[in-house]
Amino acid sequence: SSELTQDPAVSVALGQAVRITCQGDSLRNYYASWYQQKPGQAPILIIYGNNNRPSGIPDRFSGSNSGNTASLTITGARTEDEADYYCGSRDRSDYRVVFGGGTKLTVL
Amino acid sequence: EVQLVESGGGLVQPGRSLRLSCTASGFTFDDHAMHWVRQRPGKGLEWVSGITWKSDNIGYADSVKGRFTISRDNAKNLLYLQMNSLRHEDTALYYCVRDRNYGVFYDMDVWGQGTTVTVSS
């Protein structure tokens, strides 16, 4: 079955930049989206269409997609960015979706 | 205010059925495809099912295909998930989610707070 692979955990020093990656064959054909989930909260969309931010999402969040790898970059990480991050994309058809396993980001 | 409110979760025995509902408000419901996404305790997100705005295209995860049925009532702004033959591994928090698009699935831009389903004898 199709899948998206993420590193389980990543850490970053306060104020530094960090990249979270997502790999999978579906990314060659479909856009990537990224979701942030804090403990006890529902996820929120932070990147759609590979590199677009919904209104209200800070511009320190950016996205890219090349080949089979999508990336989420946080420039100038803040303590409030500590969260789980999930990538998502369509999966083998226009009417199926797959999520990555999630990356837990720790801001040191 | 754009809002999705799930209901219908609870404790159910293995093999039994449950129907989840999601009430949408604050936006034009039939301008959007809709999804159910679940999260098992301590685990990641798992897409369960999605439905286009006029219900002409529906998708299911392999893990629920043949057991779960998604549907919607655009006149009442309601999304449903009929879950049959429930298994222990269906225990999860179930989110109702709005798609940014009305047809082909794109991105999920509005999430409810979820309703908990526990499958246990």
How are the residues of chain A apportioned to helix, strand and coil, as percentages rounded to the nearest 5? Answer: 5, 50, 45
What mean pLDDT is reported for chain A?
Answer: 95
Q: What pLDDT shows up at residue A93?
A: 84
The CA distance from A100 to B16, in Å, is: 30
The single-letter DSSP state of residue A91 is: -
User: Mapping DSSP to helix (H, G, I), strand (E, B) and coil, where does residue B33 land?
Assistant: coil
Q: What pLDDT shows up at residue B2?
A: 97
Instruction: Report yes or no: A60 and A72 within 8 Å, Cβ to Cβ.
Output: no
Mutation target to probe the B interface, by most B beta carbons within 10 A, among A97, A98, A99, A104 is A97
A65, pLDDT greater than 80: yes
AA letter at B10: G
Minimum-distance CB partner of B44 among A44, A90, A102: A102
Instruction: Report yes or no: B83 and B93 within 8 Å, Cβ to Cβ.
Output: no
A1, pLDDT greater than 80: no
A42 Cα to chain B: minimum distance (Å): 6
Mutation target to probe the A interface, by most A beta carbons within 10 A, among B22, B34, B108 is B108
- Which tokens sit at B53? 């705005």
For residue range A12-53, what is the model confidence (pLDDT) as tens digits? 999 999 999 999 999 999 999 999 999 999 999 999 999 999
| Residue in this structure with the two tokens 């989110």, named with its chain if needed | B95
Q: Which of B40, B51, B83 is nearest to B65 (CA)?
A: B83
For the residues A52-63, what does the mean pLDDT come to?
Answer: 97
Per-residue pLDDT of chain B (121 residues; tens, 9 = 90+): 999 999 999 999 999 999 999 999 999 999 999 999 999 999 999 999 999 999 999 999 999 999 999 999 999 999 999 999 999 999 999 999 999 998 888 899 999 999 999 999 9
Q: What pLDDT shows up at residue B68?
A: 98
Instruction: Report yes or no: B117 and B94 within 8 Å, Cβ to Cβ.
Output: yes
Per residue, what are the HEC states of chain A?
Answer: CCCEEECCEEEECCCCCEEEEEECHHHHCCCEEEEEECCCCCCEEEEECCCECCCCCCCCEEEEEECCEEEEEECCCCHHHCEEEEEEEECCCCCCEEEECCEEEEEC
According to DSSP, the residues that pair with B81 across neighbouring strands are: B20, B70
AA letter at B14: P
Minimum-distance CB partner of B50 among A49, A95, A100: A95
Minimum-distance CB partner of A101 among B35, B44, B106: B44
Q: What pLDDT shows up at residue A61?
A: 98
Which of A67-76, A90-99, B108-117 is predicted least confidently? A90-99
Rounded to 5°, angle at Cα B16 from B13 and B17: 125
Q: What pLDDT shows up at residue A2?
A: 58
- All residues of chain A having their beta carbon less than 8 Å from the beta carbon of residue B64 are none
The CA distance from A94 to A11, in Å, is: 34
Q: What pLDDT shows up at residue B33?
A: 97
